[in-house]
Structure 1
């Protein structure tokens, strides 16, 4: 199965502020839902805790945690990277949705990058780990629509890893 990262970042690669997103961009949440429906989504415990209604519907929610006694409704809990790779083997495309530590752990395995780049600088405390974009080619780019609900210019980009870089 293929592995993708999906996230939004500002001009400085900022992705979080105090356990939540530093911006309000409904169009990006809609895009996220559209892309991840009926797929596995993999996240850390803190990212799971930031979801307002718990497990996301119509997706297999997988939480990677060190905690041995964590139990969450409608979630598969795993403790190792290899457990994840086994779990998602039947999913054509699985998404890692955060946070920073989980992205870092899978930098060498990821096949696709789905990034929403917001053309603005926000205040926050969590940044995306450094990605070597020379190993990826841009395969899709779409400008987001700016309106009264989505006030900053933004674009949806999809990168695919060059085969010889795995």
Structure 2
């Protein structure tokens, strides 16, 4: 099963200058809980936005760069190749960035989105989720608080 996982603003913004636009500790916690122990597929820029590889996950990096060999990671040249190196009988997470999400949405079985209830100026966007193709199977609203500057909703979609 292929799952896209992302935190997305109301205007589908993901980030700017290879940085997230918000800090939501509960979203980080959810991301860690869902992806730990799994293969995670990402583009090179997404990988390079981390201070170090994420623990307890197998990193599959899609890049056109030759001789790109970060330690402990699987490096491939296409999304198709990325999917092919992952276990077929396990949930695999696509974690970004924008171009990888656009390529992967047609392959995905599920989308786990944290919808940040705000509009942001960005240079990277998540693809539109077509309600004819996807149905909401769960939603959980979280109001802003002392640790979270914005309201947000965890939403899980499955193919309709």
Report the 3-state secondary structure (helix = DSSP H, G, I; strand = E; otherwise coil) of the residue aligned with 2:132. Answer: helix
Deviates more, 1:120-129 or 1:59-68: 120-129
> In the alignment, what sits opposite 1:32?
31
Q: 1:41 to 1:66 in 2, by over 3 A?
A: same
Report the TM-score, using the length of structure 1 for normalisation. Answer: 0.91
Residues 130-158 of structure 1 deviation map (CA, whole Å, 9 limit, x = unaligned):
23232011111112253211121101000
1:26-105 alignment to 2 at 5 Å? 26-52=25-51, 54-105=52-103
Relative to its length, the structure with more helix (as a share) is 1
> In the alignment, what sits opposite 1:150?
148
> In the alignment, what sits opposite 2:111?
113
8 Å CA contact retained: 1:40, 1:91: no
Unaligned runs of 5+ in 1: none
Q: 1:91 to 1:73 in 2, by over 3 A?
A: farther
Residues 116-140 of structure 1 deviation map (CA, whole Å, 9 limit, x = unaligned):
0011122222111223232011111
Q: Distance in 2 between matches of 1:71 and 1:87?
A: 16
8 Å CA contact retained: 2:44, 2:62: yes
Q: Distance in 2 between matches of 1:149 and 1:90?
A: 38
Report the 3-state secondary structure (helix = DSSP H, G, I; strand = E; otherwise coil) of the residue aligned with 2:19. Answer: coil
> In the alignment, what sits opposite 1:141?
139
RMSD, aligned CA = 1.3
8 Å CA contact retained: 2:41, 2:62: yes
> Deviation at 1:46?
0.4
8 Å CA contact retained: 1:64, 1:78: yes
The aligned length equals 160
Q: Distance in 1 between matches of 2:77 and 2:67?
A: 11
